[in-house]
Amino acid sequence: AYTLVIATYIMVLYATFLTRSGVLGTTSVHSFTDLGLAGQLMQFVVLFIWLPIVAVTEGARKRWYIIIPVSVLVLLLPFYSKLSFYPLLALSIAGIVWFVLNLNKQIKNRPSEDNVTGREFWMFIGSLMLVLSAVQILVGTSLPVFNKVFGSDFVPPKDAIGFYNRYQMPIAIVIAMLMAVGQFFRYKNTPDKLKLAKEILITLFVAVALTLGGVFLFGISNPMYVIFMLAGIYAFVANLAYLIIYVRHAKLSGSSIAHIGFGLMLLGVLVSSAKKQVITADFSGQMGGFDESARKENMLLRKGEPTRLGDFMVTYQGDSVSGEDVYFSIHYKSIEGDEEFTLKPNSQLSEEMGLLSNPDTRHYLTYDVYTHITSVPKENSDSITWRNVKEFEVKKGDSIITANGVVYFTGIDQGNGESIGLKNTTLVKALLKVRNGNNTVEAEPLFGINEQTFFSIRTELAEVGLRFGFEVRPTEGGEPKAILEIAETIPQPKFIV
């Protein structure tokens, strides 16, 4: 127990080292680029490895003999050696060996054999399964570290999800089964074996019946998934029965409630993963730049063009910006019914980590509709060639016909420049609507003036191939006139994948 508690904290620190040091590179979406903190993070991990070693060392003098040299080595090695990683690694291994050798001296437990019918025996088996789970995940995620330390060239598994599921699912099944039967045992020894067998078998029978119902309800046929479902339901049913029959005080119900929650979590993981059905796939040939696997799981949606996805007609309506997030409005309309809804997944574009997307989900009783942004076009206005630049004197209600649509001048909106960080500046905004086929978009070019200068802020609508500029020009002895500048280019419709 001492070792497991300490190892848990050390693993959290090690995970911080993996994600923050940059050692994982591009093998994990959760990792950061190298921030130059690898040495400090390694020092941090080694320091906390040696803290429990000091605690299990007998005698104050021996402890100081350990604290002083280890502290000096941990603090100075990164400054005097480019290969400080290896001495720190050796120091960590030495610390672990010292800890194991000295731990037994501090634990005054009498040696005894665990009884198979005792609860603590099965709790120990459960702990071993958790350790196996942690070791498998640790080895899989540490491959880049092994490559750097030993100069090897281990390649992370191509199908990372399948790699971890292959080992973690059997382990989770065993843990769930132990959670189900473990609480029916008594500590040290369970005297009434017949009663124990009845409790286990009755709850197992109920779990099997519910599992059969779940198999037909969700259409699960994979044998491993069926066993996984049985384990989750068994953990739920057995602990619920124990909670009702044996727990008399709410303060003693914590373990049963936690196990019930774990069983429900396993069921949620199973249903959401095993029943995952991709309804997006590129049959149009518009995603030629993507590999085959991406074309099987993604679809290109052009703004304003309805596209069939499963039982829905889906339309990408546009996007909006809130802080660093860009929200994409995607409208769903049921083909057979009258149901309509809009999902708004969002993304951030990071120069270091690329596109960071968060999904949006529509929840139903037996399934969810999950929407995730895989790719968006890069906006680069400098590469657009604008032509047919013309100026028009406009008044409220005027319309202008262009090659790419009809522009309607609906009026102006006047305000100050504080909204864009300009003091003592008057801003005049032109309110425009552009109709392109069945699609209507808006544009608001700006004209600003103060005591020293005047300026224009153009608005580009690459999706309809139009750029707008706006000015207010004085006239001799008359009212100022509004001038609208319009430039054209080849339309570049907005799309998302």
- DSSP 8-state symbol, 303: B
Nearest to 132 by CA among 88, 169, 186, 85: 169
The pLDDT confidence band at residue 23, using thresholds 50, 70 and 90, is low
Higher pLDDT among residues 236 and 80, named by residue: 236
Stretch 468-490: mean pLDDT: 82
Q: How distant is the alpha carbon of residue 288 from its chain centre?
A: 27
The pLDDT confidence band at residue 141, using thresholds 50, 70 and 90, is confident
The confidence score (pLDDT) of residue 12 equals 78
Q: Is the pLDDT at 387 greater than 80, yes or no?
A: yes
Q: Is the pLDDT at 361 greater than 80, yes or no?
A: yes
Neighbours of 43 (CB within 10 A): 18
Containing 492, the helix (H) or strand (E) segment is: none
DSSP letters spanning 408-464:
EEEEEEEEEGGGGT-TT-EEEEEEEEEEETTEEEEE--EEEE-SS-EEEE-EEETTT
Cβ-based neighbours of 302, under 8 Å, separated by 6 or more: 316, 493, 494, 495
Higher pLDDT among residues 416 and 432, named by residue: 432
Neighbours of 125 (CB within 10 A): 14
Find the range with the poorest average confidence among 21-35, 93-107, 475-489.
Answer: 21-35
Nearest to 205 by CA among 222, 230, 185: 230
* Average predicted confidence (pLDDT) for the chain: 76
- Cβ distance 417 to 427 under 8 Å? yes
- SS3 category, 109: coil
Containing 328, the helix (H) or strand (E) segment is: strand 325-334
Higher pLDDT among residues 29 and 484, named by residue: 484
Task: Report how far residue 184's alpha carbon sits from residue 190's, in angstroms, rounded to the nearest whole number.
Answer: 9
Task: Report how far residue 67's alpha carbon sits from residue 56's, in angstroms, rounded to the nearest whole number.
Answer: 13
- SS3 category, 221: coil
- DSSP 8-state symbol, 478: E
Task: Report how far residue 448's alpha carbon sits from residue 432's, in angstroms, rounded to the nearest whole number.
Answer: 17
Helices 160-182 and 119-141 cross at an angle (nearest 10°) of: 170
The confidence score (pLDDT) of residue 290 equals 58
Check residue 64 and give left, alpha or beta (phi > 0: left; psi -120 to 50: alpha): alpha
Task: Report how far residue 202's alpha carbon sits from residue 206's, in angstroms, rounded to the nearest whole number.
Answer: 6
Stretch 40-49: mean pLDDT: 70
- SS3 category, 155: coil
The confidence score (pLDDT) of residue 412 equals 84
Stretch 331-358: mean pLDDT: 78
Find the range with the poorest average confidence among 197-211, 213-227, 274-288, 423-437.
Answer: 274-288
- SS3 category, 406: strand
Q: Where are the alpha helices (DSSP H) in 155-222?
A: 160-182, 193-218
Nearest to 171 by CA among 118, 208, 224: 224
Q: Is the pLDDT at 355 greater than 60, yes or no?
A: yes
**CA angle in degrees (0–180, nearest 5) for 106-111-116:** 130
Sign of CA dihedral 161, 167, 173, 178: negative
Percent of all residues in the chain with a pLDDT value above 70, rounded to a whole number = 69
Amino acid 220 reads I
Sign of CA dihedral 474, 476, 479, 482: negative
Q: CA–CA distance from 465 to each of 192, 259, 316, 405, 439 (Å)?
A: 82, 59, 18, 9, 13
Q: Where are the domains of the chain?
A: 1-111, 115-138+152-276, 292-371, 381-496
Task: Report how far residue 66's alpha carbon sits from residue 55's, in angstroms, rounded to the nearest whole number.
Answer: 11
Q: Is the pLDDT at 83 greater than 50, yes or no?
A: no
Nearest to 167 by CA among 224, 116, 111: 224
The pLDDT confidence band at residue 58, using thresholds 50, 70 and 90, is low
Residue 384 has φ and ψ, to the nearest 5°, of -90, 135
Residue 346 has φ and ψ, to the nearest 5°, of -130, 160
Segment 284-314, tens digit of pLDDT: 555 555 555 666 667 777 777 788 877 788 8
